[in-house]
Amino acid sequence: MKIAVLDAKTLGDDLDFSSLESLGEVISYETTDSSERLERVNDIDIVITNKVIISKEIMEKSPQLKFIAISATGMNNVDLDYAKERGIIVKNVAGYSTKSVVQHTFSMALYLLEKMDYYNGVVKSGEWSNSGLFTDVSRPFGEISNMRWGVIGLGAIGGEVATVARAFGADVCYYSTSGDNLNQPYQHLNLDELLSSCDIVSIHSPLNSKTQNLINSSNLSNLRDGAIILNLGRGGIVNEADLAEELDRREIYAGLDVLEQEPILRDNPLLSVVNQDRLLITPHIAWTSREARVKLLDGVVENIREFING
């Protein structure tokens, strides 16, 4: 079997890929752009892709292709209908990143809540040294135990976030984007009620017709002053231009690990927000703890092994 890894760099340079080599002849590419896809796939039996798009046109011209291993949970980068028509098996890996995403959610929340950017600057600028005081309480912050935490999308990750938030002592509520997930041990609110009543809101839902542009100018104003909103679901759920405007209009805070276009475009309005201390953006890293990436690679290897032994 010839196996091609199309975007190995997304898995990191610190992983051991030797387990793949026991399954066949492995050709690994750090990245693959659209013009290189066909050349790298057309004589391959098994393709491993994270975000490289495997379209109908690529599969049509790749007669040897038998199996597509997606090194992620989302499968929207493969034309699944045509793969099924061609008899090409497509497998993803689920559940590998839950703990990593939950941890990153709270890292972002606590960074914004406790004004870490400001206080780090106070110390390193010398302002604290010059103050003559042993402490600095110029930017007050509260405790999660005294807050309401709203979860948008109470799936596997959202459910874990709710559990941890409750362990902090927060009052937890949620909004089901599908409208079906209503049998949960937390209060279910409609979206406007959740936004207006919560101190922290975290988004963990997929991007679909019900969540596209879900958070926008029509409801951002419902957030209470000083509230924190976090998007660790998918870019496109939060309207970035509307959020940028709201961040400069009044004091709310936002943490984003996902954006509509990744990497971020240089003209993204979020980069022009005046009050950058109210905004934290990380480059889609919530899923990338070493442990999560090891689980992901193990899942890919197991999927390929099951296919080969079939």
Query: Do 211 and 177 meet the contact criterion of CB atoms below 8 Å apart?
Result: yes
Pick the catalytic residue from 30, 262, 291, 306.
262
Active site residue 284: yes
Tell me the two tokens of residue 235: 């870019």
The packing angle between helices 98-113 and 156-168, to 10°, is 40
In angstroms, the CA 195 to CA 180 distance is: 20
In angstroms, the CA 194 to CA 254 distance is: 16
DSSP H helix total and E strand total for the chain: 12, 12
In 217-293, DSSP assigns E strands to 228-231, 253-256, 279-281
H/E element, 247: helix 240-249
Active site residue 262: yes
Query: Do 107 and 124 meet the contact criterion of CB atoms below 8 Å apart?
Result: no
Q: Is 170 exposed, middle or buried (0-12, 13-18, 19+ CB in 10 A)?
A: buried
What percent of the chain is helix, strand and coil (3-state, nearest 5)?
40, 15, 45
Pick the catalytic residue from 40, 104, 148, 284.
284
CA distances from 142 to 109, 137, 194, 227 (A): 12, 12, 19, 11
Pick the catalytic residue from 104, 234, 278, 293.
234
In angstroms, the CA 288 to CA 294 distance is: 9
Tell me the two tokens of residue 69: 């291993």
Cite the active site residues.
234, 262, 284
